[in-house]
């Protein structure tokens, strides 16, 4: 698996309302400001996506680079949540087989625009969050 030079970077779909809410959720709870964020629509995000086999034009997953490794789908969500203060209990969910977790993740990912909606352009974060976005 390829390596990525930056760590604790969350790749997300910047026009997806659900994905953008996920970023705000993480940022609000990440009191140590460990995680940084990159929309797949940015040059940096598209490069990261292509490196790990995600189609920037049709993303089917978010991803996180953590500890020098890439995590995708349900592993990405659980990895991020488990690093947030007070959310360590989420690690227990890794006991649920990936073969059960990922199909649920993929079902939501495939239908995210229809269920949650889509922005016309990449969402613009507030100034505090903006400092943590890599483009």
pLDDT (tens digit, 9 = 90+) per residue, 74-111? 999 999 999 999 999 999 999 999 999 999 999 999 99
Q: What angle do CA 56, 51, 29 make, to 5 degrees?
A: 75
Kindly indicate the confidence band of residue 59, based on its pLDDT and cuts at 50, 70 and 90: confident
Q: Domain containing 61: what range?
A: 9-130
* Of 21, 8, 7, 31, residue with least CA distance to 84: 31
Please check whether residue 71 lies inside any domain of the structure: yes
Segment 43-69 mean pLDDT: 92
Where do runs of H (alpha helix) occur along 30-85?
Answer: 43-51, 73-83
Contact 72, 61 (CB under 8 A): yes
Please check whether residue 121 lies inside any domain of the structure: yes
Looking at residue 80, what DSSP letter applies?
A: H
The Cα–Cα gap between 76 and 79 comes to: 5
Please check whether residue 135 lies inside any domain of the structure: no
Determine what percent of the chain is predicted with pLDDT higher than 90.
76
Please check whether residue 19 lies inside any domain of the structure: yes
Name the domain count of the chain: 1
Please check whether residue 3 lies inside any domain of the structure: no
């Amino acid at each position: 698996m390829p390596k990525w030079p930056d760590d604790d970077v969350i790749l997300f779909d910047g026009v997806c309302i659900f994905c953008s809410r996920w970023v705000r959720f993480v940022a609000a709870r990440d009191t140590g400001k460990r995680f940084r964020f990159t929309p797949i629509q940015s040059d940096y995000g598209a490069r990261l996506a292509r490196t790990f086999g995600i189609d920037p034009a049709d993303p089917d997953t978010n991803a996180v680079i953590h500890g020098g490794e890439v995590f995708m789908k349900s592993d990405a969500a659980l990895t991020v949540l488990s690093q947030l203060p007070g959310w360590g209990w989420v690690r227990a969910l890794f006991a649920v087989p990936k073969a059960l977790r990922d199909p649920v993740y993929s079902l939501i990912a495939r239908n995210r625009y229809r269920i949650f909606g889509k922005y016309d352009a990449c969402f613009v974060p507030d100034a505090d969050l903006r400092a943590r976005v890599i483009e």
